[in-house]
Chain A
Amino acid sequence: MKRSTLLAAIVVAMAVLAAACGSSSNTTSSGGGGGSSSSSTPSGSAETAGARGGTLITRANAAPSGSPDPQVNYTLQEWQFLIITHDGLVGFKRVGGAEGTKLVPDLATEVPTPTDNGKTYAFTLRDGIKFSNGKTVTGADVKATFERLFKIGDSPNAGSWYNVIQGADACIKTPKSCDLSKGIEVNGNQITFHLTTGDPEFLFKLAVPFGFILPADTPAKHVDIPPPGTGPYKWTEYKPTTQMKVERNTFFKEWSKDAQPDGLPDAIEQRFGLSVQAEVTQVENGQADYISNVDQVPADRLPELSAKYSKQLHVNPLLQTEYMALNTNVPPFDNEKARQAVNFATDRNALVKIFGGPQLATPTCQVLPPNLPGYQPYCPYTANPGAKWSAPDMAKAQQLVEESGTKGMKVKVNSDTTDVHKAIGEYFVGLLNKLGYKATPQFLSSDIQYPYAQNSKNKVQLAWSDWFADYPAASDFLNILLGCGSFHPNSNSSPNIAQFCDKGIQAQMDKATATAIEDQNAANQQWAAVDKATTDKAPWVALVNQKMLDFTSARVKGFQFSPQWYFLLAQASVK
């Protein structure tokens, strides 16, 4: 998921999920693990559990971008609320730390093991769960939910995530008459999904808000406020100019502490309209409890917060990579040596400073971030190649530029106008000039930079971008950002900005995807090999892996950071 486009990202951080697809019971973690790296508060486990009651006041500069409809909105800002008002058949365990990436049964009684080469998933719906309007959840609601996903017409991932459901192709062509009877078989409480092809990541896709179950009578058009759900809270206010609010759902009875625990605050609000600087001041003064993940704490407030409010700060690693995409189809970076040269020359320690220092970012050379399945530390572009980046190698870089014959070429460095990203762009303009290129900047508003960089018509040579995992899977990085199928010429929606397509590597990716259906651990090894092979080809200059900084008020107790959902709002106490 692209953070800058979506305003916020689903971030699946830290934990190693060895999630054997389709089974929650054999999910394991290794290495890395959970918890905050430097927080004064361990994120993996709650602080002293607090009392119920009160209102948790959160602040955001603006309302979540786009429609509030749960099947359309693609921002973590709204998803943080949707996960406590709605449920999917399965869900990510609602705890902090590594456990938070584990799949657990939610509205279904258990996480199914796929059959038929990963093409069939059978669920049993729990009895007696009610929506916040008092109606009982039925199999018909499940089928209607996924039909609505297509009928609504602009659900962002309908065509890329859920098109594997049998009948979905016809739904994409003629959304209004969408009928998934073949793809979703309902028999009482038994629900069976039939897919056209084995999809090892299908369960993850059911665990995010696009797949959350809505009442069957929800109109197939955008709603102004999310419709009734099954969680411990219900939406009572959604005013994009002032605030959104959820309050207790009186029909909620806890059925699974793992999937959907009851909430502690009586109500949770998010108020809009202040600058981030003012939001920080409000949290300092106790006028607000939390700054939404969409608003980053301004860099010049960090030393003050670090010194005075360290107990209210929470730093946690994200499953995220910052990178500069090198266009492999346009000179000079159609030349592999030129791409490797920039990789060798990049001083990632300097870039760490731009991101706020070593506590908030760590250098990286590779595509996959730490703790993602398939991650194995690898850095060929450093003074002493090995597992970790240590220092730039300018001599090697200059030698490669000479060998590539690209010295003196013009390069436009594309980035957006936000403070940090502009600074990164400026850094690369200076670096490329030092390497002998004639570099100039092209800084565009963050609203247009990402689509502009994706469109091959614009011949962008070097573009800043970042990526946050939608769910914990290596393919969510490698296949989406560097797969041949992700490059769409002349389209604003072509996430493979580097226009990288290596048939050998693509074959490796396809093989790893197929392997994951049967053996996730073996697939993880294959993804690690793909990561190395891709890194060697240098379609990116991978820069850093960022960490999340949360700042909460003094009255907030029980801060938990889920790698999937960030700060678990409902699990914090304000009493």
Chain B
Amino acid sequence: MAEFAYEPEPAGAVVLAPGETAREIAGKSPWRLAGRRFMRNRVALAALVLFVLIVVVTFAAPLYAKHVAHADPFANNLNGTTVVDGKRIEVLQQGGGPLKLGETPIGPTWHSNFFLGADNQGRDVAARVLYGGRASLLIGIGSALLACLAALLLALVAGFFGGPVDVILSRLMDLIWAFPIFLLAISLATVLLTAPDGLQWGPVRVDPSSLWVPTLIIALVYVPYVYRPVRGQVLSVREKEYVEAAIAQGASNLRLMFSEILPNVLTTVIVMLPLMIATTILTESALSFLSIGVQPPKASWGTIIDDGQNLLYSRPWVAIAPGIMIVLTVLSLNVLGDGVRDALDPRAKLRIKG
């Protein structure tokens, strides 16, 4: 499991990106500067284009399934047939040899229907990979946003108020951090999946097979990973002169937190967000691979790899295709994250620990 540590630049320091002169940045707002630096980083731009492309393609899954594959990627198709090279054939084909053992799904046709072949339920793999991407991205982005938002709020409160509030929140985060991520996620998922009536918070009810379950679980386990660096930033910013000036002017606590401190720690979260998304997508895939994330017949890249591992010998594309999608997505997000960091915070250090 990769962990990352983010060391932001000291607040208030003048920062120049490589090849940048003071004259060039004079009079420009930090956001404009960041945009300018990002646009000059071609690798990061390419990563952004790739990520957007993946998002667009996966979110077009219903169109692909309906108009190209002509298939329902969630309904089993065990007795289905399809036409390949003008011949109607069964999607699941009986094994050969004298004993005729086994039922093997058809492999890639490289045509519109069953482009990547079928899985062991006779479903179109290409359509499922696209739908699976939608679920993986929704959960990955959703849980990363939730984790970042929760961590930001908690870090603001803990760092600003300090004292017992800080101690309690920080120890709580340490407690969550102390659990191995997958052990905690698996435990939570098992409890939620076996709850006879799902999750119930007052009028809000979450069905155990809902995408919200993996989203909330993954968000929860990653909150401490964002909380720690942000809290450190808050502690540092809180002692700055402009904050003290605001206090002297009688600013309320809320104003201090959200108008003075938040804008100065937000870049830390923004830099971490793409990397968090990459990490949460990987976590979602792992949980779904273990059958405790997205619940079939819904698809995610993890569930499709799980389906594909039983077909590795005969139909490797079932596992390879979602694997490639995960690699491309995580790669693009990591490069994008580096680009955002360079743009917002050129001298910050971002270390990935294997």
Contact = CB atoms under 8 A, between A and B. Distances in A.
Given A303-B104, A354-B103, A360-B101, 15 more contacts: A299-B102, A300-B314, A302-B95, A303-B101, A303-B102, A304-B314, A305-B97, A357-B95, A357-B100, A357-B101, A359-B99, A359-B100, A419-B310, A426-B121, A426-B297
Contact of A452 (B120, B194, B313, B315): B194
What are the 8 A-B residue pairs with the smallest beta carbon separation, nearest first? Answer: A302-B102, A306-B97, A303-B95, A307-B97, A350-B78, A417-B291, A306-B101, A300-B314
Contact of B120 (A349, A423, A429, A457): A423
Contact of A430 (B99, B209, B297): B297
A299 B313 CA distance: 10
Interface stretch (A25-33, A193-201, A441-449): A441-449
A40 interface: yes
Interface residues of B, number: 36
A357 B75 CA distance: 20
A277 interface: yes
Given A299-B120, A356-B102, A426-B76, A440 B209 contact: yes
A40 B97 CA distance: 11
Given A300-B314, A300-B315, A417-B291, A442 B78 contact: no
Interface in A440-464: 440-445, 448, 452, 457-459
B190 A445 contact: yes
Given A427-B78, A441-B209, A459-B196, A303 B96 contact: yes
Interface of B: 74-76, 78-79, 92, 94-104, 120-121, 190, 193-194, 196, 207-209, 291, 295-297, 310-315
A106 interface: no
Nearest to B91: A353
Contacts of B190: 444-445, 448
Interface of A: 38-40, 277, 298-308, 310, 313, 315, 347, 349-351, 353-354, 356-360, 417, 419, 422-423, 425-427, 429-430, 440-445, 448, 452, 457-459, 549
A317 to B, nearest CB: 14
6 contacts: A306-B100, A350-B76, A357-B100, A423-B76, A441-B297, A442-B295
A38, A353, A356, A423, most chain B CB atoms within 10 A: A353
A38 B99 contact: yes
B189 to A, nearest CB: 10
B94 A357 contact: yes
Nearest to B79: A350
A313 B99 CA distance: 9
A426 B313 CA distance: 23
Given A300-B312, A301-B313, A458-B196, A429 B297 contact: yes
B193 to A, nearest CB: 7
B76, B101, B296, B297, most chain A CB atoms within 10 A: B101
